[in-house]
Structure 1
Amino acid sequence: MNTLRKIALALVIVGAINWGLIGLFRFDLVAAIFGGQTAGLSRLIYTLVGLSGLICLSYFFDRETVDEKEDYTSPIQDERTAIRPNYGTEFAEDPDLDHAFNPSRDAYDKEEE
């Protein structure tokens, strides 16, 4: 199934380039190569591009599998973990938030003095 999806994505890219050429320059590359818009081969290409677009719709509803995640250099290990952003900066030290959330810490600080 993975090969079918790659072929479908390649055909969608071909269709997108063709529509870009039509929109910008009024030039239909598929029709120019295969003998006009009504030629059988051109209609076949248009049909395959349309079917490929329908296949690529599944990308919106498909969750990544663990095998696909291992192909990338992503920090995600499995579905239970998530990417946690780093809110630290390079320009200043992080504030001491433990004091803000634990006011009873003042009592321990005073005893140490």
Structure 2
Amino acid sequence: MNTLLRIALVLVIIGAINWGLVGFFQFDLVAAIFGGQDAILSRIVYALVGISGLYAITTFFTPEKVKM
């Protein structure tokens, strides 16, 4: 697994945790850390998570290497 894919997956996991917090507790952790949903840093994090999710889709189309 290359470095870019690892970074993308970490950001996807962060996004999933944030959405879980929003769904269960109505608490947006990214917004709380970076100053609200409209703050530029929050929007950057949201954009990076979205781009990472799109990039992570490529894992479905990459053939697996068989290790022996």
TM-score (norm 2): 0.94
What amino acid is the match of 1:14?
Answer: I
Q: CA RMSD in A?
A: 1.3
Counterpart Cα distance in 2 of 1:54 and 1:63? 18
Q: Which of 1 and 2 has greater Rg?
A: 1
Shift of 1:64: 1.5
Gaps of 5+ in 2: none
What amino acid is the match of 2:42?
Answer: S
Higher relative contact order (CA 8 A, sep 6+): 2
CA deviations on 1:77-100 (whole Å, 9 max, x unpaired) are 4xxxxxxxxxxxxxxxxxxxxxxx
Correspondence 1:26-65 to 2 at 5 A: 26-65=26-65
Shift of 1:13: 0.1
CA deviations on 1:3-27 (whole Å, 9 max, x unpaired) are 0000000000000000000000000
Counterpart Cα distance in 2 of 1:27 and 1:16? 13
Shift of 1:42: 0.2
Counterpart Cα distance in 1 of 2:6 and 2:25? 28
Gaps of 5+ in 1: 71-76, 78-113
Counterpart Cα distance in 2 of 1:22 and 1:60? 27
Aligned to 1:21: 21
Runs of 4+ in structure 1 deviating by more than 6 angstroms, as ranges, are none
Counterpart Cα distance in 2 of 1:2 and 1:47? 21
Query: Which one has the bigger helix percentage?
Result: 2
Identity across matched positions, percent: 65
